[in-house]
Structure 1
Amino acid sequence: MKTQLITREGYNKLRAEHDYLWKEKRPEITKIVSWAASLGDRSENADYTYNKRLLRQIDRRVRYLRKCLAELKIVDYSPQQEGKVFFGAWVEVENEQGEVKCFRIVGPDEIYGDAKNYISVDSPMARALIKKEVDDEVSVNTPEGEKIWFINRIDYRQDQNDSDAV
Structure 2
Amino acid sequence: MSQLQSLGTIHRTDLSACPGPPTNGQRLRTTNQKKPREMRLGILNILSLNKKEEECIDIMIQKKLDIFGISETKRKEHGTEELRGGYHLIWSGGEKKRNGVGLIVTNENKEKITEVLYISDRLLKVNIKLSPWKTPNEKFVKHYTGLRPKLG
TM range (shorter): under 0.3
Q: State the structure with more CA Rg.
A: 2
Please, what TM-score do these two structures have when normalized by structure 2?
A: 0.25
Structure with more of its chain in strand, by fraction: 2
Of structures 1 and 2, the one scoring higher in RCO (CA 8 A, sep 6+) is 1
